[in-house]
Amino acid sequence: MRSLLVVLLLAAPALGAETASYLDIGVGARALGMGGAYTALADDANAVYWNPAGLARLEKREVMASHAELGNSTRHDFLAYAHPTSQATLAGAFTYLNQGTIAGRDATGRPTGGYDASDAAVAFAAGRKTDLADLGVSVKYLRSHIAGAEAQGVAVDAGLRRELAAGTGKVVLGAALRNIGPGLKYENQRNDLPLRAAFGAAYRFAAGHALAAELQNGPRGAGTEGGAGGEFKAHEGVFLRLGYTSKSSAVEGSGFDAARGLTLGLGLRKGGFGLDYAAQAAGELGSTHRFTLSARF
């Protein structure tokens, strides 16, 4: 844990504008149904995003596809594959954000026609068990496109994870540093990536339930956010989830807007197949919906 803090201080010497905000959009309906408190719990192909150290606990190959409707015709997709070996678990993932056609306007506010904007990331990750803790690292190729401008870059994620027996269940601790890199440059301006340091803790009950909480800090001026949630095993293969994240709760309001940040989720498991759904209240914007299909074999 201490080594991650040292890396964080070295990687963030100054505050500045951030770009590639799509890298800060969480993936996986299971994780987001629990308020995004997944840095400690991550033990599936979603760990490529949340904490690559979680890949070390996979015992079977897994393929996973997630889709999110974020409003204003914005769609977010995530595809991952993880493959355990005798030495480590290797994984690859692809993230794509499509913002559709954005209306353009000149300096006076008059329409000038629409333009497209999209972002993508390709990641290669590995997680390995050690006597002290599980360790993981992910290397990402980034590409952002806005109208006729394009930027490319590379980023690295690193994480660690430790499970400890506690009563009939397990306490899980996790830490991850995401989006370490030089940033993206559009024409003559370079902006920083959304560097994030996440610290999480969770408790896994023997009956299959789980509780989790975490804090995430953006040292370049993004501040600190928190999330917490739980998963209840209602029946064999049926999971109910509830959570809260402060990421979307900063705007004050009343009525449905006051529920901003609340998350709900449902998970179904049958054999090696899984289907997860999550919804998050987004105030006056309504709600966002996420779906994940997975298979282990």
Rounded-to-integer distance, Cα 18 and Cα 218, Å: 10
Mean of all residue pLDDT scores within the chain:
86
Do 282 and 263 form a contact (C-beta atoms < 8 A)? no
Do 40 and 214 form a contact (C-beta atoms < 8 A)? yes
Do 156 and 178 form a contact (C-beta atoms < 8 A)? no
State the pLDDT at residue 4. 39
Q: Which two tokens stand for residue 84?
A: 């355990």
pLDDT at 12 > cutoff 50: no
pTM score, whole prediction? 0.84
pLDDT at 255 > cutoff 70: no
State the pLDDT at residue 250. 40
Do 178 and 137 form a contact (C-beta atoms < 8 A)? no
Work out the average pLDDT over 189-217. Answer: 94
Work out the average pLDDT over 248-277. Answer: 74
Rounded-to-integer distance, Cα 64 and Cα 49, Å: 12
pLDDT at 113 > cutoff 90: no
State the pLDDT at residue 106. 56
Q: Which two tokens stand for residue 53?
A: 């150290």
pLDDT tens track for 120-140: 999 999 999 999 999 999 999
Of 43-57, 101-115, 211-225, the least confident: 101-115
State the pLDDT at residue 115. 65
Work out the average pLDDT over 57-68. Answer: 95
pLDDT at 242 > cutoff 50: yes
Q: Which domains, ranges and CATH numbers included, belong to the chain? A: 2-296 (2.40.160.60)
Largest Cα span, the chain: 66
Do 183 and 155 form a contact (C-beta atoms < 8 A)? no
Between the alpha carbon of residue 91 and those of residues 53, 67, 206, 295, the distances in Å are 11, 19, 28, 14
The single-letter code of the amino acid at 169 is G
**Position 105 confidence tier, pLDDT thresholds 50, 70, 90:** low
Give me the phi and psi of 14, to 5 degrees please. -155, 160
Give me the phi and psi of 74, to 5 degrees please. -90, 130
State the pLDDT at residue 104. 57
Between the alpha carbon of residue 45 and those of residues 72, 90, 152, 180, 238, the distances in Å are 28, 10, 25, 21, 20
Of 52-66, 112-126, 232-246, the least confident: 112-126
Work out the average pLDDT over 267-281. Answer: 94
Rounded-to-integer distance, Cα 132 and Cα 149, Å: 46
Q: What is the DSSP letter of 40?
A: T
pLDDT at 215 > cutoff 50: yes
